Copies of this chain bind each other. A is one copy, B any other.
Amino acid sequence: MNSLAKQVESPELAAACLRFIESGGHTTQSFGLGQVLGQVFALLYLSPKPLCLDEIVEELDVSKASVSTTVRQLEEWSAVHHVWVKGDRRDFYEAETDFKAMLRHGVLAPLRKKMDTAVVRIEHVEESLHKALEKTNPEQRAQARIVAERLQRARKFHAKINALLNNPWLDRLL
């Protein structure tokens, strides 16, 4: 018997919640994140009150270790946040309802990070290529020039994406 049945009297309502939680798990799994992540968030999102770790464990029937790491992951993305309950040592969590903020911290920020490292990688290659260019004879430069041009285009495209991710217009479209 799970804790959801304790809070929710109607079995139909509980069933609907469970299906939503299951859907959340499938969705996050399809994005390469684990299924527990989506389940935990979905549960907290539907819960009328903040939940502590053990309640989540009992509800989802997953290990406490999974919930612990998952919750910190979600917290890092501003998808859930800590809630202190007076006179209770346990850590309670509730879902962030502002999806826009979630998207910024959970999707755009990590994306920017990866794009940055990609740009840095290309810049390193360009750098070593320019050094190589100096000590090559003319007929080799023709080839190198083509490569250099393509590297430059790749880097500029990455920069364009970065600019887009930082563009304030993007916020307004949400």
Instruction: Name A residues whose Cβ lies closer than 8 Å to a Cβ of B.
Output: 8-10, 12-13, 15-17, 19-20, 23, 26-27, 30-32, 45-46, 48, 97, 99, 114, 117-118, 121-122, 124-125, 128-129, 131-132, 135-136, 139-140, 143-144, 146-147, 150-151, 153-154, 157, 160, 164, 167, 169-170, 173-174
Contacts and interface: CB of A to CB of B under 8 A. Distances in A.
Chain multiplicity (copies): 2
Nearest to A113: B30
Given A10-B144, A154-B45, A125 B20 contact: yes
Taking chain A's interface residues, is the majority helix, strand, or loop, or is none over half, making it mixed? helix
A125 B140 CA distance: 64
Given A23-B121, A46-B150, A12 B143 contact: no
Given A12-B128, A30-B114, A170-B173, 8 more contacts: A9-B140, A9-B143, A10-B136, A12-B136, A13-B136, A23-B121, A26-B121, A27-B121
Interface centre among A17, A20, A48, A121 (most CB of B within 10 A): A20
A17 B147 contact: yes
B118 A151 contact: no
